[in-house]
Structure 1
Amino acid sequence: MLRITQHDGTVALCLHYTPPKSYGVDLFLAADDGVIHNLHASAMLGERTVTDDAAPTWTWWNHHDWSASVARVTDFRTLTFAPAEATEFHIRRQRFPGRHWRLRLDVHTREPGIVFPAGTAATHTGGWLELKL
């Protein structure tokens, strides 16, 4: 389930999983300027810009004007994560320009991951969910 709300200059997105399953989420967001941003939340937070060819390597902890819940590590030796019941993103509205955002989610699980909207690609916004803010 995806819930989205806007309050006091912040957009909040909450993904709720039944049963608990997420180990990380890539939120792809394109605002009116067309630039695709990949906001990543797992045990670490990071942001990068996606191009038609590929995405650059990660720069971790560069989450300017946004935050997200992180995955809990249950065993550092084996890098085992506890499945999350939810992942929440809080994004300052001023961070991304315009009144229309397009969104795509890639939820990482032990099974095949979940892509929403299904069948969409990370490198272009065709078929993505549109938010009118």
Structure 2
Amino acid sequence: MDLKPLRLVPLLVTSVASAVAWAAWLGWDQQRDVHPDGSVTGPYEAWQVVGLVLTLLVPVSWAASRRHVAAAALGTTAGLTAAAFYDWSDDASGLFVIGVGLVAMGSLAGTFAVSALIASVTRRGR
């Protein structure tokens, strides 16, 4: 039996989990907050982003502990980048592309570092 198609499973799991987590944590909040002094923040609160990151630790840990470091990093990056693009693409200024690029670069760097650390720790534990 050829097991090569099963190598895509960690990539697909982390990608779908990332897009779903984005929708659950960030997708519903689209309003910016205007403060009494006129400053504007948002649309996301810090607790939402922290929740997203903590939620993504589960699929990333699952994939990385099985030695799929690249799939964990690339799948998570693909899911978050696609979700950010979809969520922000209604921006008329076109600057959303810069934000999407930053999401892609940051999520790739962050998930690769976390995945490598998890794979290293689980390798020593076995």
Classify the TM-score, shorter chain. under 0.3
TM-score when normalising by structure 2: 0.26
TM-score when normalising by structure 1: 0.25
Greater Rg over alpha carbons, structure: 2
Larger fraction in helix: 2
Larger fraction in strand: 1
